[in-house]
Amino acid sequence: MIEIGLNAVIVAVEDPHPQVLTISPAGQAAPRYALPFGPFDPTRHRTFEIGLREWVEEQTALKLGYVEQLYTFGDRGRHHIHSDDGPHVVSVGYLALARQTNRSDETLAQQHAHWRSWYDFFPWEDWRSGRPAVVTREILPALDHWMAAPVPAGSPPRAQSREDRVHQTFDIQDGSWDEEKVLDRYELLYEAGLLEEARRDGRPAALERPATPPLGQAMLYDHRRILATAISRLRAKLKYRPVVFELMPRAFTLTDLQRCVEAISGRHVHKQNFRRLVEKGELVEPTGETSTQTGGRPAALFRFRHEVLKERPTLGLRVGVR
């Protein structure tokens, strides 16, 4: 028997952090963060998206704007190794973007929903101030130990060795960092038994390791994997579509825009290069107004130039890093 579930990764940016909307489902043995989710009911929902919007509004009182289908998660044993006695749940994940002006923390709290920085769940993904300490202090030593350990008998064959996969995801050899490989890194850390979800799901690599402080905040079921998929998608899409403006208010400064891009990408952006890129792409236009909230000289306010959508197909911000 197969059931269809719907999951929503709802993202907003509040300087300086990218936020994801979480809920605290009732009936859990311990408080655990989850994405808004619920079953698809074909008798109530004409489409998956209608069902998703209904569940999100019921659980968070938030009306979604921009929504796109993310991925279908249907692997056997998604939650636990020995969890196939009941119906198999196939989840359809969605990515939704929310502007700050649509947020109401008081209303959300009444619904037991909360915004959390996605770096609470993925602290190794925030490179805005250089390599995160958790990568050097905990992750790389643990992965070195995992690479040196023998591969258990009966493990599925892989085209690449453990060493190659670690080097490609964490780029140990040349010191670079591909911010789009969020899902690859999550799945590698899960396989190596370094995440709480792996221990909770009964994965041998986790059970064989001594208990250590968790790497980031765990989530219910495989919701952190779904979130990793959404972050990878959004970071990639940032480079070829103007999705960042779905996260911005109607009017903003170029500094606001840069901080939003940095928050999502997890990388520092060179100020002058960023402004030249924005100007060259003709993605924004001045409103003729200024903001004094910067604390210094009044800063010019800009808005997204919607006409650019009709002028060319590729409209992203392929930013460089310092």
Domain annotation for the chain: domains and CATH numbers = 2-121+219-237 (3.90.79.10), 123-207 (no CATH), 243-311 (1.10.10.10)
Rounded to 5°, the CA angle 65-66-70 comes to 130
Query: In one letter, which amino acid is 240?
Result: Y
Among the residue ranges 4-8, 22-26, 176-180, the one predicted with the least confidence is 22-26
pLDDT, tens digit, 9 for 90 and up, residues 210-266: 888 889 999 998 999 999 999 999 999 998 888 999 999 999 999 999 999 999 999
Q: How far is CA 302 from the centre of its chain?
A: 27
Q: Which of 165, 179, 292 is nearest to 239 (CA)?
A: 179
133 phi, psi to nearest 5 deg: -60, -35
Interatomic CA distance for residues 289 and 278, integer angstroms: 18
Tokens of 11: 């993202």
Contacts of 231 (CB under 8 A, 6+ apart): 118, 122, 125, 182, 183
Measured between alpha carbons, how far is 238 from 265 in angstroms, rounded to an integer?
Answer: 8
pLDDT of residue 112: 81
For residue 83, pLDDT beyond 90: no
Q: What is the overall mean pLDDT for the chain?
A: 87
pLDDT (0 to 100) of residue 223: 94
d(CA 207, CA 198): 8
Cα 109 → chain centroid? 22
Contact assessment for residue 89 and residue 28, using Cβ atoms and an 8 Å cutoff: no
Q: What is the pLDDT of residue 281?
A: 84
- What percent of the chain shows pLDDT beyond 90? 58
Please report the pLDDT score of residue 279 as a whole number: 86
User: Is 50 exceeded by the pLDDT of residue 142?
Assistant: yes
The reported pLDDT for the residue numbered 202 is 86
pLDDT value of position 80? 53
- Say if residue 154's pLDDT is above 50: yes
Mean pLDDT for the stretch of residues 59-74: 90
Give pLDDT, residue 121: 97
Mean pLDDT of the 23-35 span: 75
> 2 and 87 in contact (C-beta within 8 Å)?
yes
pLDDT at 193 over 50: yes
Q: Which of 136-150, 181-195, 201-215 has the lowest mean pLDDT?
A: 201-215
Across 13-42, average pLDDT = 84
Lowest mean pLDDT: which of 22-26, 107-111, 300-304?
107-111
Average pLDDT of 253-281? 93
Residue 173 has pLDDT above 70, yes or no: no
